[in-house]
Amino acid sequence: MRIELIDEVMTRKLGKALAKSCPQSPFLVTLTGNLGAGKSHLARAFLKKLGVTDPIPSPTYTLCETYPINQKLTVSHLDLYRLEDPEELELMGFRDMLDGQGLLIEWPERAGPLMPTPDLDVHLIWHDQGRMCVVSAKSKKGERWLSALKVPQPE
């Protein structure tokens, strides 16, 4: 699914729309695309829509920020750009996180073979006129999520 993101508002709308149809069980979303493409911006809107009221710092240096959402769901936002060794992920308890949490992961490629296939990949791209996003379902859960997604429209 391809969506034009003419401005930041649209990026936020997409983050919110993804949160609205988000599963109440562990999920994995990879946020891919170049530096500055809007991955953190989208993640922040997603987390806010899920009810996070605390500030949502970028996990650029901490690598991982965790947010309890409700009794069933905890969501972590990871940015692996500065991951030096995939081993570090093991030390962070990555395997348990995969089983028990919703995960939004920027720069998943840095994890190498430790990164499993996600439910959704949200790929943000710059092009001549601005930015766009390609959302792809990679699992059954991802397919259900995407089919329930109400695609945001520009104002």
Binding site for ligand ATP (CB under 6 A): 5, 7-8, 10-11, 33, 35-41, 79, 106, 131
Partner interacting with residue 32 (select from ligand ATP, Mg ion, none; CB below 5-8 Å by kind) = none
Q: Please state the closest distance from residue 39 (CB atom) to ligand ATP, in A.
A: 3
Query: Is 40 an interacting residue with respect to Mg ion (CB under 5 A)?
Result: yes
User: What is the DSSP track for 39-53?
Assistant: HHHHHHHHHHHTT--
| Locus of tokens 């695309």 | 33
Q: Which residues contact 106 (CB under 8 A, 6 or more apart)?
A: 31, 39, 40, 43, 59, 77, 78, 79, 80, 81
Helix or strand holding residue 121 (H, E): strand 120-127
Query: Is 77 an interacting residue with respect to Mg ion (CB under 5 A)?
Result: no
Q: Please state the closest distance from residue 99 (CB atom) to ligand ATP, in A.
A: 26
Rule CB under 5 A: which residues touch Mg ion?
39-40, 106
